Amino acid sequence: MIITVTPNAALDITYRVPRLLPHTTHRVSEPVERPGGKGLNVARVLAALGHEAVVTGFAGGPTGEVLRERLAGLGTVRDALVPIKGTTRRTIGVVDDATGDTTMFNEAGPTVSAAEWAAFLTGYRELLAGASAVALCGSLPPGLPVGSYAELIREARTAGVPVLLDTSGEPLRRGLAARPDLIKPNLDELTRLTGSTEPAHAAEEARRRGARAVAASLGAEGILAVTEDAMWRAVPPDRLSGNPTGAGDSAVAGLLSGLVEGLDWPGRLARAIALSAATVLAPAAGEFDRAAYEELLGRVEVTAVPRATS
């Protein structure tokens, strides 16, 4: 069983318009609503890969009810979300069909009380007892301290469960001190964390600060992974156009499933890149095109990168 934690879950709403123009009225056909938030996206991909996936975090209010109904409709992911008094946030993505670009509008999320956090921790510890890995994903909602992910990492390490952290800002900085097994920042998040704009140097610095391994997402340039004894670069075989929503979450699912299955780093990275690319090509945001994934998997280029000597 793989746990994905999404403290700030969301109901994702996607609109498509022929062309997105400011100061005009747009007609939207067939809006799509789906359970969202980074960890829920990761869980969907894990389930599609054949893994037992459990989602936890918080859900509340009318939006939370819709989210859980949509989640139950999937039939592939176990719902262990904790009820709260606040209302689950919405994220709205507007896809411009003319350019393929997506414009996002993200609500902040509900305030989580100390009692609700305590209830979550009780359930989280119970889930860890049967877990093979855990992913901690996304932003923290109002009410939770910035050290919340650090606490969850320490709980996972006590239980002997490998943990991946995918967040940004101060929660990432605090989380590093708890020594997660893997972090997956993008280049901007890595730069803000370390002050370095050079990917290899920034990833090495993040690892020195506490991460056992770093998989830095470089967008169209692929992923740079730094471990204790190696550095790898994985690059997609083609330049792709489409909707990138959820592509990074698919990469997390690739890395985490590869870890659980005992794949070596080149195998994990190839899967992460192929899943990410197949997500960009999928017609619905956050899904992945299975045929494209299987075709791309054998063509991902993964190379060892020499490490700088100090």
Compute the distance between CA of residue 91 and CA of residue 94 in angstroms, rounded to an integer: 10
Nearest to 152 by CA among 127, 187, 130: 127
Q: What are 147-150's contacts with CB under 8 Å, separation 24+?
A: 147/171, 147/174, 148/7, 148/117, 149/174, 149/175, 149/178, 150/174, 150/175, 150/177, 150/178
- 43-57 b/e with 16+ CB inside 10 Å = b? bbbbbbbebbbbbbb
* CB contact at 8 A, 9 and 40: yes
CB atoms within 10 A of CB 91: 18
Catalytic center residues: 249
Q: In what order do the strands lie in the sheet with 32-36?
A: 32-36, 10-17, 89-96, 102-106
